[in-house]
Amino acid sequence: MANLPLSGIRVLDFTWAWAGPFCTMQLAHLGAEVIRVETTARPACVTRLIPPFADDIPGPNRAGYFNQYNQGKRSITLNLTRPEAIDLACQLVRHCDIVADNFAAGVMDKLGLGYAKLRSIKPEIIMISMSGYGQTGPYKGYVGYGPPASAASGMFFTTGYEGGDPGEIGVSYPDPNAGIFGAFALMAALTHRALTGEGQYIDQSQFETALALMPEGMLEFELNHREPGRHGNHDPVMAPHECYKAAGDDEKWVSIAVGGDEEWRALCRVMEKPELAADPRFKTAALRKQNETALDQIVTAWTNTRDRWDAARALQTAGVAAFPSMSNKDLAEDPHLNERGYFALLEHSEVGKRQHAGIPWKMSETPCAVRSPAPLRGADTEPVLKSLLGLTLDQIEHLRKSGVLI
């Protein structure tokens, strides 16, 4: 096995939906062996069941959502409603370093897989529970998803067009964000264990991980007793700062953000309006911010007739931050991301080779790569039970027939 940062670390992964699997995928990216525990006994393993399916043909192994966020993991099926399955899970814990879940608070305890129990099996185990609202407090039993967490954390209240209603934010961002915070917490706990030998339990709240990313809004209230307001794409300091309509259909836009005076003068040069640089309305950053409506009209008049890529390239060449508004197709075809080898493109036995978002970092000494595509459901049940628990094929067959391994 390659010498990766988490080579030799094994994760028993009870997570489901999006937040939890996003967390454990980071560990797989870093070299850990992640064993995803699934079951068909519970109907809602949502990510295997919702579109897009490869070529629109439904099937649990054909779902893009699942196949994206479970790259590099193994899959076993355990029917956790059965005591024999819980017993197998406990036996597996003995061979694992980390146990992860993102069930509602208390579910792992009810299953007989709470931290006290796992710790009695393996004292140095690290466990993380990534619930919607945390394991304590009056909302601990509330149902949490990413979109309601966007509402509860103030992201909806602070996002939206100038003068308009609170807006949604396009993706269920608090989900991957909870996952990424979970991955950080696990790296910290692994470091602590490497230094001291001690394991621990981590109680993480999705709601709070979203709040950790709201400091500008929260401190506006704390320092000035005022809500931050909604300002579309505008910035408190920089102007111009907007997505501008480019030539072409409704989906063609180019974003431009101008920081200091040097960038402003460069924008004027690229727009071939040198007189603007001397215009007293736009002389300083503060004045540009004050007169940004007029500024937005001027920039729009320029972008309107230009191809979004031509505009972005010309501006970037002059040192101005600009980028087209990318669709999924734009990302997939992007020469930069392809040249960096960002996309993972591995042969999957049911969907073939498909582009997936890959690993957003490169490490010089321990080059990480997606090592296998997302697993077929239950593909590793037999090898894992054989190699880790020493079960015989007969024993496994018996468990399968009696409904423990579904």
Partner 1 sequence: MIADLGAEVIKVEPPGGDLTRRRGPFPNDQPDPEKSGIFIYLNANKRGAVADLKRPEGRELLGKLLAGADILIHNVAPGDRAAQGLDSAALLAAYPKLVVAAISPFGETGPYANWRGYELTLSNAAGWATLSPGASPYPDLPPLKCFGSQCEFQGGIHAAITALAAYMHRLKTGKGQAIDISAQEAVAAMLEMNFMHWTYAHRETSRLGSRLLGPWFIADTADGKIFALAVEEDQWKRLVEFMGNPEWASDELFKDRIARGQNQDALKALMGEWLSQWKTQDLYREAQARRVPFAPVNTMRDLYESEHLAERKFFATLDQPGLGPVKLPGMPSKYGATPWALRRPAPRLGEHAEEIFCGELGIARERLNDLRKAGVA
Indicate whether 253 belongs to the interface with partner 1 (CB under 8 A).
yes
Compute the distance between CA of residue 390 and CA of residue 12 in angstroms, rounded to an integer. Answer: 17
Site for partner 1 in 308-327 (CB under 8 A): 316, 319-327
Compute the distance between CA of residue 60 and CA of residue 51 in angstroms, rounded to an integer. Answer: 10
Comparison of 1 and 223: residue with beta carbon closer to partner 1: 223
Compute the distance between CA of residue 38 and CA of residue 36 in angstroms, rounded to an integer. Answer: 6
Indicate whether 72 belongs to the interface with partner 1 (CB under 8 A).
no
Comparison of 103 and 384: residue with beta carbon closer to partner 1: 103
> 175 catalytic, yes or no?
yes
Alpha-carbon dihedral sign for residues 91, 94, 97, 98? positive
Return all residues near 24 (Cβ < 8 A) that are at least 6 apart.
Answer: 11, 13, 15, 34, 36, 73, 100, 179, 183
Query: Contact letters (x/-) for partner 1, 327-356, by CB under 8 A?
Result: xxxxxx--xxx-xx-x--------x--xxx
Site for partner 1 in 84-123 (CB under 8 A): 115
Query: Contact letters (x/-) for partner 1, 14-53, by CB under 8 A?
Result: ----x---x---x---x-------------x--x--xxxx
Indicate whether 165 belongs to the interface with partner 1 (CB under 8 A).
yes
Indicate which single residue of 154, 373, 375, 378 sits in contact with partner 1 (rule: CB under 8 A): 154
Indicate which single residue of 41, 90, 357, 396 sits in contact with partner 1 (rule: CB under 8 A): 357
- The tokens describing 78, both together, are 């355990």
What number of residues does the chain have?
406
Indicate whether 1 belongs to the interface with partner 1 (CB under 8 A).
no
Indicate whether 54 belongs to the interface with partner 1 (CB under 8 A).
yes
Number of residues near partner 1 (by CB under 8 A): 158
Comparison of 47 and 75: residue with beta carbon closer to partner 1: 47
Name the one residue in this structure whose structure tokens are 């990766």.
4
Indicate whether 184 belongs to the interface with partner 1 (CB under 8 A).
yes
Q: Per residue, what are the HEC states of 22-78?
A: HHHHHHHHCCCEEEEEECCCCCCCHHHHCCCEHHHCCCCCCEHHHHHHCCCCEEEEC
Smallest gap, in angstroms, from Cβ of residue 312 to partner 1? Answer: 8
Smallest gap, in angstroms, from Cβ of residue 307 to partner 1? Answer: 15
Indicate whether 131 belongs to the interface with partner 1 (CB under 8 A).
no
- The tokens describing 313, both together, are 């390239």
Question: Which is catalytic among the residues 13, 97, 101, 175?
Answer: 175
Smallest gap, in angstroms, from Cβ of residue 60 to partner 1? Answer: 14
Site for partner 1 in 188-247 (CB under 8 A): 188-192, 194-195, 198-205, 207-209, 211-224, 227-228, 230, 232-233, 235-238, 241-245
- φ/ψ of residue 26, rounded to 5: -65, -40
Name the one residue in this structure whose structure tokens are 């602070």.
158
Site for partner 1 in 265-304 (CB under 8 A): none
Compute the distance between CA of residue 264 and CA of residue 257 in angstroms, rounded to an integer. Answer: 9
92, 35 in Cβ contact below 8 A? yes
Active-site residue set? 175
